[in-house]
Amino acid sequence: MPLETTTVNLPKAEIPRTWYNVLPDLPDPLEPYLTPAGAPVKPEELSAIFPPTLIEQELSPRPRFDIPEPVLEALSRYRPTPLVRAVGMEKALGVSSKIWYKNESVSPSGSHKTNTALAQAYFNKAAGITRLATETGAGQWGTALSIAGRAFGLDIRVYMVRISLEQKPYRRTIMNLMGAEVLSSPSDLTVAGRRAKAADPDALGTLGLAISEAVEDAAGRADTNYSLGSVLNHVLLHQTVIGQEIKSQLKAAGVAPDYLIACHGGGSNFGGMAAPFVPEIKDGAKITLIAAEPESCPSLTRGKFAHDYGDVAGLTPLLPMYTLGKDFQPPAIHAGGLRYHGASPIVSALVKSGLVKPEAIGSPELFRYASLFARTEFIIPAPESAHALAAACMKALELEAAGTPGNIVFVLSGHGLLDLAAYEDFINSYWAGSPWAFAATVQGRARRADRNCPDRRVRRVADRAHATRRPDAYDALRDTEEAESGRA
């Protein structure tokens, strides 16, 4: 197979020069952000924590925004990022669908978060701000903003969710190396943090609480603004470089996508991928957009659509979004970047209008597919990104069983080289000694789920596993297969 059919690298000259604003193209206008009294938020009410340019980008119906030259220069250090065909994984799955991944893990922070961090740091610096306060869940966003702070000369303070800091101490090392200050959240430095600690001295922290701490910090100082790595419209706007590049790369490869998949925490990598495809989908293009979220924090699949606070303390405006409630305490899953009670207003609007299909992914199947990807594509995915890749694999197997292979693209939003504790847990708890058992199981499933499979009983289990996406159905399938291969 010629190399150019497995990796599409765009020349530097084709880096997108503008950000695409999906707001005017949404099927229904976005509902306004509200104050606690229920009035629409006015732009000037956001100016205590955001610079004017970002407020304009947040609310404007302008179809496109130019990317300033210094931001373009900084982005071009690692963009355009490659679009790669996961040939090894396709083979291991035994599928004839083509699976492509957009590799955002090549950014200096190891994830897509750098795309908006650079833009936010630049616009804050241009507005005369010298210091930014932020939160981080997985540590990827804090790392990205620390790098961006270094690039544009800003001091950075990061409130890092306590459980993530304990799981990933080396994230703090990188942030410190870049000159950023990192605090475990809940901290003693804010009212929100002290309250949370008083209520529960062992609190693990949540993204919502860390946001409260950072907003409180920024609102209390004239030299400081708040910076958010997801959820808001301007963040998704900056991430549209992802979807715009995917479009150009698919065109260069002569591929028409059937499924576009990304994981969903607050919605920035998903929104950045999906938004540029919205106009053509509205015009009838047969592309399915899938947002993959964790079963344990299912804001899009199980949340309700309502105006809710973006943080625990209720310091942010009320955002129109799918939410599990600001006080929802997600369990301490390894995908810390997906432990958020809400969802981006833009993605929520797309889900509500039926343009985006959310899917919840369970942990056991997640790490099985993540390890398959690592052993066939030789990149260890971030646990967050593994939600997208697991959804892509399951879609490929489902299409195989139905005899309708297609083109599947997913966003590898980050690498998992600082998430090895998660992989160690997986090896200890699920792998149980047989390195190839999982690949063999998946291959076996693909083979046996084939339409012509004579064994109806195995097909029934496979179909049920596909239909329910439940880990226990998957386990039932594996047990069936193991019993079968033992008999063979």
> x-or-dash pattern for ligand PLP, window 299-338, by CB under 6 A?
--------------------------------------xx
> x-or-dash pattern for ligand PLP, window 130-169, by CB under 6 A?
-------xx-xx----------------------------
Among 53, 185, 413, 480, binds ligand PLP (CB under 6 A): 413
Q: Which is nearer to ligand PLP, 125 or 415 (CB)?
A: 415
Q: Which is nearer to ligand PLP, 134 or 224 (CB)?
A: 134
- By CB under 6 A, tell whether 230 contacts ligand PLP: yes
> Which residue number is nearest to ligand PLP in terms of Cβ?
337
> x-or-dash pattern for ligand PLP, window 61-90, by CB under 6 A?
------------------------------
Give the integer Cα–Cα distance in Å for 185 and 436.
40
Give the integer Cα–Cα distance in Å for 409 and 201.
44
- Check if the beta carbon of residue 253 is closer than 8 Å to that of residue 259: no
The least CB distance from residue 351 to ligand PLP, in Å, is 13
Q: Which is nearer to ligand PLP, 238 or 264 (CB)?
A: 264
Q: Which is nearer to ligand PLP, 335 or 442 (CB)?
A: 335
The least CB distance from residue 199 to ligand PLP, in Å, is 25
How many Cα atoms are found within 13 Å in the side-chain-facing hemisphere of 459? 11
Q: Which is nearer to ligand PLP, 163 or 439 (CB)?
A: 163
Give, as ranges, the residues between 103 and 132 that touch ligand PLP (CB under 6 A): 111
Q: List the beta strands (DSSP E) in 137-201.
A: 155-161, 181-185
Structure tokens belonging to residue 164: 């993530």
Q: Which is nearer to ligand PLP, 92 or 138 (CB)?
A: 138
The least CB distance from residue 112 to ligand PLP, in Å, is 6
- Check if the beta carbon of residue 110 is closer than 8 Å to that of residue 131: no
Q: Which is nearer to ligand PLP, 265 or 444 (CB)?
A: 265
Among 21, 120, 268, 441, binds ligand PLP (CB under 6 A): 268
Q: Which is nearer to ligand PLP, 268 or 323 (CB)?
A: 268
Among 171, 264, 368, 466, binds ligand PLP (CB under 6 A): 264
Q: Which is nearer to ligand PLP, 94 or 266 (CB)?
A: 266
Structure tokens belonging to residue 161: 């969710």
In the DSSP assignment, the letter for residue 427 is: I
Q: Which is nearer to ligand PLP, 278 or 462 (CB)?
A: 278
Helices 169-177, 140-152: crossing angle, 10 deg rounding: 0
Among 103, 107, 249, 269, binds ligand PLP (CB under 6 A): 269
Q: List the beta strands (DSSP E) in 203-268.
A: 224-226, 259-263
The least CB distance from residue 382 to ligand PLP, in Å, is 4
Give, as ranges, the residues between 365 and 384 that touch ligand PLP (CB under 6 A): 382, 384
Q: Which is nearer to ligand PLP, 107 or 224 (CB)?
A: 107
In the DSSP assignment, the letter for residue 243 is: H
Phi, psi of 113 (to 5 degrees): -60, -25
The amino acid that residue 137 corresponds to is G
∠ CA 359-364-370 to the nearest 5 degrees? 80
Q: List the beta strands (DSSP E) in 18-154.
A: 18-20, 64-66, 83-85, 98-103, 131-136
Among 94, 267, 298, 345, binds ligand PLP (CB under 6 A): 267
Round to the nearest angstrom and report the end-to-end CA distance of the chain.
Answer: 35
The least CB distance from residue 88 to ligand PLP, in Å, is 21
The least CB distance from residue 286 to ligand PLP, in Å, is 25
Distance of CA 282 to the CA centre of its chain: 23
- Check if the beta carbon of residue 72 is closer than 8 Å to that of residue 15: yes
Contacts of 168-176 spanning 24+ positions with Cβ under 8 A: 168/138, 168/139, 168/336, 168/418, 168/419, 168/421, 170/418, 171/136, 171/138, 171/139, 171/140, 171/142, 171/143, 171/418, 172/139, 174/143, 174/146, 175/139, 175/142, 175/143, 175/146
The amino acid that residue 67 corresponds to is I
**Under rule CB under 6 A, how many of the chain's residues touch ligand PLP?**
21
The least CB distance from residue 335 to ligand PLP, in Å, is 8
Phi, psi of 294 (to 5 degrees): -75, 145
The least CB distance from residue 81 to ligand PLP, in Å, is 13
Residue 381 β-bridge partners: 415
List residues near ligand PLP by CB under 6 A. Answer: 111, 137-138, 140-141, 230, 263-270, 337-338, 382, 384-385, 413-414
